[in-house]
Amino acid sequence: MTFEGQIRKMITENGKPIRYYLNFKDDYLDVNQQLEKKIRIKHLHNECLGCGLDKEIYRMGYCQTCFFSLPEANESIIRPELSTAHLGIEQRDLEWEKKFELQPHIVYLAVSSDLKVGVTRAAQIPTRWIDQGASYATIFAKTDNRYEAGMIEVALKNHASDKTNWQKMLKNDVPELDLIQQKDLFKMYIPEEESKFYLSDDSVYTFEYPVLEFPKKVKSLNLKKQREFEGVLTGIKGQYWIFEDGTVWNVRGHEGFYVEIEL
Ligand SMILES: [Zn+2]
């Protein structure tokens, strides 16, 4: 069976284990069903997530022109503290930015490799955690907009990382931490103006990924350098496919690639 289409991040469904789907324009692939099976991936050309043209993918699935002009790729996407829609100040497209930034956001603590702090829209929970391959997570604060969440994150960044070590995450080399204790500890770092957003709910969410065996060593597949790859799928975690030989494929990192997948 052959599928082809533009890569976008996998759609997930929280369950035990999590379910993964790769959506193409007219078709979708149930990725969990491919475990233990041989898959061939071939890069045919590109299709930018913004303009749809066959141009070199620069970052986040966008060509260089789209990356530097679309609101979806603005710097405040990566750094929420730079948001200005709450002040009515436009960066690239005020209407888009208002819709995106002026909605409830959460600041969370999660462990996918080490303790990490992050910001996401409330509507992106638990998707955001699954995309990062988090083993467990808790909500630290819930704010009215993106800027406020960004300010809290900046204050916590001195005490926890905002990055995930993907090799450790994929090898399931994950420490056992008491997230609630961390949360209590971090409470004192919230800036005065944002202290009212602290969430006292101490629920901890845990995630189970469809992985038959975690790799001991990982090597990353880059379709820009290697146009074609074939291997037996042994797991899915975060936005990665894990193969029997330790090769891992970052699906999200290949957004905007147009590929053929043969099962
Ligand atoms: Zn483009």
Sort strands 219-220 and 247-250 into parallel, antiparallel or unpaired.
Answer: parallel
CA distance 121 to 191: 20
74 C-alpha vs ligand 1 centroid, how far in Å?
A: 14
CA distance 260 to 175: 37
Domain residue extents for the chain: 2-67+211-262, 74-206
Is residue 148 within 8 Å of residue 104, measured between CB atoms?
no
7 C-alpha vs ligand 1 centroid, how far in Å?
A: 14
Tens digit of pLDDT for each residue in 231-257? 999 999 999 999 999 999 999 999 999
63 C-alpha vs ligand 1 centroid, how far in Å?
A: 4
Radius of gyration of the chain from its Cα atoms, rounded to whole angstroms: 19
CA distance 199 to 179: 13
CA distance 113 to 235: 17
Is residue 231 within 8 Å of residue 11, measured between CB atoms?
no
**What single-letter DSSP state applies at residue 9?**
P
Is residue 256 within 8 Å of residue 65, measured between CB atoms?
no
Q: What is the 3-state secondary structure (H, E, C) of 108-168?
A: EEEECCCEEEEEEEHHHCCHHHHHHCCCEEEEEEEECCHHHHHHHHHHHHCCCECCCCHHH
Determine the pLDDT at residue 253: 97
246 C-alpha vs ligand 1 centroid, how far in Å?
A: 33
Determine the pLDDT at residue 163: 85
How many residues are recorded in the chain? Answer: 263
Q: Which CA distances in Å does 126 have to 106, 139, 176?
A: 11, 10, 20
Determine the pLDDT at residue 238: 98
User: For residue 9, which of 259, 261, 255, 257 has the smallest C-alpha distance?
Assistant: 255
Tens digit of pLDDT for each residue in 84-103? 999 999 999 999 999 999 99
Tens digit of pLDDT for each residue in 117-161? 999 999 999 999 999 999 999 999 999 999 999 999 999 998 998
- Indicate the pLDDT class of residue 26, thresholds 50, 70 and 90: confident
CA distance 146 to 202: 22
| SS3 call for 82 | helix
Share the mean pLDDT of the chain. 97
Q: Could you give the percent of the chain with pLDDT greater than 70?
A: 100
In the predicted structure, residue 11 carries a pLDDT above the cut 90: yes
6 C-alpha vs ligand 1 centroid, how far in Å?
A: 13
Determine the pLDDT at residue 162: 82
255 C-alpha vs ligand 1 centroid, how far in Å?
A: 12
Determine the pLDDT at residue 157: 92
- 162 versus 88: the higher-pLDDT residue is 88
28 C-alpha vs ligand 1 centroid, how far in Å?
A: 24
| SS3 call for 43 | strand
73 C-alpha vs ligand 1 centroid, how far in Å?
A: 11
130 C-alpha vs ligand 1 centroid, how far in Å?
A: 27
Determine the pLDDT at residue 161: 87
Strand order in the sheet with 136-143: 115-121, 105-111, 136-143, 205-206
Determine the pLDDT at residue 51: 98
Dihedral sign for Cα 170, 175, 179, 185, please. Answer: negative
In the predicted structure, residue 31 carries a pLDDT above the cut 90: yes
252 C-alpha vs ligand 1 centroid, how far in Å?
A: 17
Number of alpha carbons in the 13 Å side-chain half-sphere of residue 243: 17
